[in-house]
Structure 1
Amino acid sequence: MRATGEAPGADEVRGLDVPGMHAREPEHWASEALGAVLDRVALSHVEVGARFPLFADPGTGRWTTTGRGSWTGGFWAGLLWLRARHTGDERDRAAATECTARLAPWAEADTATRGLILWYGTALADRDPGADALKARAARACLRDFDPELRLVPWGAALGGPRLLARADGVPGLVPLLATENATAADAHLRTHLDLCVHGPGGPRPAWQWDTASWQQCEDPPPDWARGRAWLLLAVADALLAAESPAATQLVHEALELLLPHPDEPLVPPAHAGLGDGPLDTSAAAITAVALAKLALLRDSRSAWYAERARDVLHRLVSAHLVDGRLLDGCYDAGSGTAVRHQLVWGDFFLALGLAALTGLVDLTAV
């Protein structure tokens, strides 16, 4: 199926209830698209079995999988939890519970992507003692790995490469996960990454490496990496939405201004702006849509614009890139040419999460 339909007006958003917007039932496109994505999750669950999906061929739909989940395993668990919430079926809940339990080896792994794995893999688990215990265990382990001199949890060596990195994708998820144990450490982790990745010398860079006495710019990923910007915007939205967070100060507000998409920017960005006719990245767009939907909950003067832009991005993804419940045109790694127009498990997750918020299935303050 390819979902179609005209974009709704800005007053037709339910779940993104902001001042000046009359909450009504959304058009059927959002509910239908969410159902299609979550029906596809059920089919994918049969296909991958006890493995974790990573990316799928745009033509055949066949998944490339991993045994332990890599940095994306939490998004697969999150999709299963979204399906369980959508259907209310105990079998779907059991599948989500079983998948989340298989994330346990990552709790003590040396990687900042534990935020992506163990926050998004547990945050949607309703009244699940195992998921709650795993989240708490992971938060304690991440706090133990917090480096007080560098003021962050290092990127880590579990996925290979240098350990003492600060990367944009090591921020989302990890900040709220750390905050469940120690708000000061969580704020320091966020501030350090914003200081480097957004306000760093020489301009924004998504990755930095510690070299003896100072941080040095990394060439990969490059500065125009769309997903890096989206990850940081999501982290900033989370910080601003956590009203009690002391990080919600001038630094975070300044970062927000630099990370927000300009109204004239395309709804679905290129994976790297400097690649000309290179691939798009629908996963970056889906992450951005969720970040904007969270910002809409701040109830400030731009809430209506945040909500409208989030809805427009979601509608574009559904109308132009969703085929048979599969979000295509995601870019895993443009530099190496890996899966550059594919279905990506985290792209599906953030699309489903955004649609779930739009239709009222999920409260974004809890995710």
Structure 2
Amino acid sequence: MRPDPWAERAFAEILAQVAVTAAEAGEGRFPLYAEPDTGRWTTTGRGSWAGGFWAGLLWLRARHTGAAADRAAASACTARLAGWVDADTSTRGLILWYGTALAVEDAGVRELRARAAGACLAAVDGELGLLPWGSAFGGPRLLARVDGLPGTVSLLATVGPAAAASHLQRHLSLCLPGSGTEVCRARDLVPAWSYAAETGWRECAEPAPGWSRGPAWLLLALADVLHRPVVAAWLPGDPQALAERLADAWAGPGAPLVPPADAARPDGPPDTSAAAVTAVALLKLSLLPGPRAAVYARRAAGILEHLVDHHLSGGRLLNGCYDAEKGIAVRHQLVWGDFFLALGLAGLAGAADLRAV
């Protein structure tokens, strides 16, 4: 793929803004979301489930600049994620995969990733066939949620391919109508299920079907596994055909470039972060052999260019929605939105191998 000049410019713009974000967030803090008008960040001390995306942005900057100071900042940020290794949450994939995936040459990062993968494998519930959502953020722990897929499947793949496949397959069987054998509209995906021995699996009320990031997270995890043949071999059927069917249904010509945060409220806030995640998933699909590779590359580039032209301001991706139901940060800059936009642009610009991230 030839580098796109507009993608290179936008990628550099986002990375330049990283220094501004770091100063605004403060030393030792993790940015979560920023006010659209002022750029003021809401931050966390441990990073919450999104801390890995800030570390990932810092690693993208370090790779781009080659500066020792930028590398040191990225390494120090990643080290602060170590407290999540033994946390009871399947979002360890979001935290510890994306916080480490761009720094495999760093010995400390490799060791942290190995510890995280081993901890995730040890926490897999063999009877349920998945790594439970967990209790780290409160509430019941025996949940299956699509945001517990990205990164987690990749982490598990490094130590237990069969467990990685089982974790993904359990979510596919629960979340997709007909386990993906039917045409599935994005708003029909059921993003969360709870389990009890007395009743089995039951659909959760929150997040509800129509949640913008549900389809994006699931498509990303499925695209990831297709680049890990040792995992894909454990999946039934043809996982690439399933991924292509979902990509066509959820991100085809008739789909909006930026989905509404809640499909039941099409006139409500959009979610640019879901669009950025979807674009990265499509780029990953475009790197697979097959007749549809060029189609997915064009769709991904179209989404990314739209985000740059209409929602990127001074290196800040605006109009992301943290939580539409609770009215939290509904048109804001989100750290994971910035990360996935930057990652997608890096892929277009030839600055990152998306098969490894």
Q: Secondary structure at the match of 1:154?
A: coil
Structure 2 gaps, min length 5: none
Aligned to 1:4: none
Q: How far apart, in 1, do the equivalents of 2:315 and 2:3 lie?
A: 22
Question: How far 1:100 sits from its partner (Å)?
Answer: 0.1
Matched, 1:39 2:7: no
2:242 to 254, 278, 281: 254
2:133 aligns to what? Answer: 155
Residues 109 and 200 (structure 1 numbering): CA distance in 2 closer, same or farther, change over 3 Å?
farther
Q: Match for residue 147 of structure 2?
A: 169
Q: Partner letter of residue 254 of structure 1?
A: L
1:59 equivalent to 2:37? Answer yes
Given residue 154 of structure 1, which amino acid in structure 2 is its aligned partner? P
Pick from 97, 106, 125 the counterpart of residue 84 of structure 2.
Answer: 106
Q: Distance in 1 between matches of 2:226 and 2:78?
A: 28
Which residue does 2:311 correspond to in 1?
Answer: 321
CA offset at residue 365 of structure 1?
1.1
Matched, 1:233 2:219: yes
Report the CA distance shift for 1:38/1:176 in structure 2 as closer, same or farther (over 3 A).
same
Q: TM-score, normalised by structure 1?
A: 0.91
Q: Structure 1 205/165 Cα, relative in aligned 2: closer, same or farther at 3 Å? A: same
Give the superposition deviation at 1:199: 3.6
Pick the aligned partner of 2:289 from 261, 282, 299. 299
Q: Determine if contact 1:236/1:256 at 8 Å carries over to the other structure.
A: no
Question: Could you tell me which residue of structure 1 aligns to residue 97 of structure 2?
Answer: 119
Query: Residue 66 of structure 2 aligns to which amino acid in structure 1?
Result: G
Question: How many percent of aligned residue pairs carry the same amino acid?
Answer: 60
The residue identity in structure 2 corresponding to 1:214 is G
SS where residue 53 of structure 1 aligns?
A: strand
For the 8 Å contact 1:191–1:251, the answer to whether it is kept is no
- Count of residues paired in the alignment: 344
Deviations 1:124-168 (A, max 9, x none): 014111111100000110111000000000000001111000000
CA distance in 2 between counterparts of 1:147 and 1:199 reads: 24
Aligned twin of 1:348: 338
Greater CA drift, 246-255 or 126-135: 246-255
Asked if the contact 2:3–2:348 (Cα under 8 Å) also holds between the matched residues in 1, the reply is no
Once the two structures are superposed, what CA deviation does each residue of 1:212-269 show, in whole Å capped at 9, x if it has no partner? 2410001111111110100000011011222333145426333541354221111111
What amino acid is aligned across from residue 234 of structure 1 in structure 2?
L
- Separation in 1 of the partners of 2:72 and 2:317? 25
The residue identity in structure 1 corresponding to 2:7 is A
Could you tell me whether the CA contact under 8 Å between 1:114 and 1:138 is conserved in 2? yes
2:325 alignment counterpart: 335
Aligned counterpart in structure 1 of residue 255 of structure 2, from 265, 274, 281: 265
Secondary structure, in 3 states, of the residue corresponding to 1:274? Answer: coil
d(CA) in 1 for partners of 2:226, 2:236: 9
Question: For residue 268 of structure 2, what is the amino acid of its counterpart?
Answer: G
Q: Which moved more, 1:346-355 or 1:42-51?
A: 42-51
Unpaired stretches in structure 1, ≥5 consecutive residues: 1-13, 15-23
Q: 2:270 aligns with which of 280, 289, 305?
A: 280
Matched residue, 2:202: 216
Letter in 2 for 1:115: G
In the TM superposition, what is the alpha-carbon distance from 1:198 to its structure 2 partner? 1.5
CA contact (8 A) 1:229 1:259 kept: no
Q: CA separation in 1, counterparts of 2:283 and 2:129?
A: 29
Hey, what's the Cα distance between the residues in 1 that align with 2:178 and 2:333? 33
Alpha carbons 1:240, 1:248 under 8 Å: kept: no
Judge conservation of contact 2:3–2:350 (CA < 8 Å) in 1.
no
The aligned amino acid for 1:167 is R
Letter in 2 for 1:365: R
Matched-pair contact (CA < 8 Å) for 2:161–2:234: no
Measure, in 1, the Cα distance between the counterparts of 2:113 and 2:141. 23
C-alpha distance in structure 1 between counterparts of 2:234 and 2:191, whole Å? 20
Alpha-carbon distance in structure 2 between the residues aligned to 1:148 and 1:251: 24
Q: In the TM superposition, what is the alpha-carbon distance from 1:76 to its structure 2 partner?
A: 0.2
SS at match of 2:355: helix
CA RMSD of aligned residues (A): 1.5
Which residue identity is paired with 1:123?
Answer: A
Question: Aligned to 2:144, what secondary structure does the other structure show?
Answer: strand
- 2:176 corresponding residue in structure 1: 198
Note the C-alpha offset of 1:204: 2.7
